[in-house]
């Protein structure tokens, strides 16, 4: 039996890139890294734009995509969801309520935690004030919850945060209702 062809990960060491490499490692999926140096502007090369038309990291090409044909996927959230469905891990396939909750938290991380922490890390050295409190405590919502694409998307952002953590608060769907 032949081993599956590796997924091509187009990557630069950023929190969004780390999300995908962490996911691939957790899945035990074969992959090969293709560095795209954003410092040199390689994300604007025509070859990369054919994979990720938004010219941003990360992107993947799965040679064994739907129907056994190659597929490219860009945007970290879309990649996490695709890999979760493909491998049947970290993404609820048969429980719509659980899937909704995972997707809510994934979108919240992508639209709030990730950008706020990114701005905090970029601008904080030149300011005396910190960014809004939405950069605090997000990872606390994942404690006790099943590991999912939502929690994987926040691991590196939360790890690189220099902000102080607030006490954990309830983040379950029933607590939000």
CB 57 within 8 A of CB 43: yes
Q: 3-state DSSP call for residue 151?
A: helix
The confidence score (pLDDT) of residue 119 equals: 74
Global model pTM greater than 0.85: no
Average pLDDT of the residues in 38-62 = 96
> Which CATH number is 7-87 given?
3.40.30.10
The confidence score (pLDDT) of residue 142 equals: 46
Average pLDDT of the residues in 54-79 = 96
CB 56 within 8 A of CB 19: no
Q: 3-state DSSP call for residue 35?
A: strand
Average pLDDT of the residues in 64-75 = 97
Strands 31-35 and 71-74: what pairing?
unpaired
Mean pLDDT for all residues in the chain: 80
CATH 3.40.30.10 domain position(s) in the chain: 7-87
Q: Give the pLDDT confidence of 122-160 residue by residue, as tens digits.
A: 677 655 454 444 444 444 454 455 677 776 666 555 454
Let me know the angle formed at the C-alpha of 135 by 54 and 24, rounded to the nearest 5 degrees.
Answer: 50
**Of all helices (H) and strands (E), which one includes residue 20?**
helix 15-27
The share of the chain scoring above pLDDT 90, in percent, equals 56
CB 10 within 8 A of CB 56: no
Is the pLDDT at 169 greater than 90? The verdict is: no
Measured distance CA(44)–CA(54) in Å, rounded: 9
């Amino acid at each position: 039996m032949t081993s599956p062809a590796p997924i091509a990960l187009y990557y630069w060491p950023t929190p969004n890139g780390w999300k995908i490499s962490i996911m691939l490692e957790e899945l035990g999926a074969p992959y090969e890294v293709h560095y795209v140096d954003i410092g040199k502007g390689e994300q604007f090369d025509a070859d990369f734009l054919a994979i990720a038309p938004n010219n941003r990291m990360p992107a993947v090409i799965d040679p064994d995509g739907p129907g056994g044909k190659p597929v490219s996927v860009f945007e970290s959230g879309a990649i996490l969801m695709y890999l979760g469905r493909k491998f049947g891990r970290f993404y609820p396939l048969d429980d719509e309520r659980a899937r909704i909750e995972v997707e809510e938290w994934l979108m919240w991380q992508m639209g709030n935690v990730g950008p706020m922490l990114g701005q905090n890390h970029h601008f904080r050295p030149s300011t005396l004030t910190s960014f809004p409190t939405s950069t605090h405590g997000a990872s606390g919502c994942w404690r006790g919850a099943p590991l999912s694409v939502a929690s994987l998307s926040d691991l590196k952002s939360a790890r690189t945060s220099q902000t102080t953590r607030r006490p954990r608060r309830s983040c379950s769907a029933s607590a939000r209702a």
